[in-house]
């Protein structure tokens, strides 16, 4: 792949990656940690390890606990003056036998719906509540949440996957609404969703059988694509959903 550019966001960047222990989140932290434009990478997750290099810090965060989210934001706010990039690389599609993508409305359950919305919608919204105020207010900065094409209402042609689709569609509205308020604080800031494609991680592994080899990405390749898209987005794109190749996905 070509050399990753982050020039539109500047130099000496302070970055937060939430969900840093997951497949894509871990790859994003690794790619950013090697980039010359980055000063600090804060890796947030429920499980972590000793930092792999100078400028990388792990902090505990439980996506389903607002107090934990607020505490992590407070610690980071005391460590650096402002943040330049916040990436939320979290999400749930399946979970043992408890949560599986529904093939029919007969499979709908309130507990599965609640879990999907708590992780895929409420969690990122509460992260935005505590982390958007930390973004730089005088230059391009970015709040990006990983999402999925199946959250698009307009693009839904197959049906099924009720809880996941609905929670991601709700996330679309959340990000759009957040982007409007963020623009009042910083007109050149971004609040967007990024669709990573099909990535070889635990989340997508049960659903990879029909994916062409050239469209099944390694986590690092996906991370490179997503960061390249983020670098190329402009204020006019804030509130939108963008695929790994930069194409806008309808809400």
Domain positions in the chain = 7-249
Say if strands 190-195 and 198-199 run parallel, antiparallel, or are unpaired. unpaired
At 232 the pLDDT is: 96
0.85 surpassed by pTM: yes
Say if strands 248-249 and 216-217 run parallel, antiparallel, or are unpaired. unpaired
Rounded to whole angstroms, how far apart are CA atoms 127 and 209? 34
Please determine, for residue 50, whether its predicted confidence score (pLDDT) is greater than 90. no
Q: Say whether domain 7-249 belongs to CATH 3.40.50.720.
A: yes
At 40 the pLDDT is: 95
At 64 the pLDDT is: 95
At 156 the pLDDT is: 83
Higher pLDDT, 217 or 169: 169
pLDDT tens for each residue of 167-215:
999 999 999 999 999 999 999 999 999 999 887 765 555 555 555 666 6
pLDDT tens for each residue of 70-127:
999 999 999 999 999 999 999 888 777 667 878 999 988 999 999 999 999 999 999 9
At 199 the pLDDT is: 78
The per-residue pLDDT of the chain, averaged, comes to: 90
């Amino acid at each position: 792949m070509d050399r990753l550019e982050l020039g539109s966001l500047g130099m000496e960047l302070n970055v937060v990656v939430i969900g840093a222990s997951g497949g894509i989140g871990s790859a994003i932290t690794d790619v950013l940690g090697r980039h010359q434009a980055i000063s600090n990478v804060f890796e947030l997750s429920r499980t972590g390890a000793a930092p792999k290099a100078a400028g990388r810090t792990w902090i505990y965060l439980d996506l389903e606990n607002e107090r934990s989210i607020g505490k992590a934001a407070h610690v980071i706010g005391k460590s650096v003056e402002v943040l330049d990039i916040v990436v939320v690389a979290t999400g749930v599609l399946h979970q043992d036998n408890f949560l599986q993508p529904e093939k029919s409305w007969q499979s709908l359950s309130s507990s599965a719906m609640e879990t999907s919305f708590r992780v895929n919608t409420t969690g990122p919204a509460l992260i935005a509540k505590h982390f958007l105020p930390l973004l730089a207010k005088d230059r391009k900065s970015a709040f990006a949440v990983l999402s999925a094409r199946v959250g698009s209402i307009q693009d839904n042609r197959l049906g099924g996957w009720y809880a996941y689709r609905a929670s991601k569609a709700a996330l679309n509205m959340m990000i759009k609404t957040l982007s409007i308020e963020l623009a009042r604080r910083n007109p050149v800031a971004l609040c967007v969703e990024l669709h990573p494609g099909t990535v070889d991680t635990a989340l997508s592994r049960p659903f990879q059988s029909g994916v062409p080899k050239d469209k099944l990405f390694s986590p690092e390749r996906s991370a490179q694509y997503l960061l390249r898209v983020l670098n190329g987005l402009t204020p006019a794109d804030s509130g939108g959903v963008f695929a790994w190749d930069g194409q806008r996905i309808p809400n």
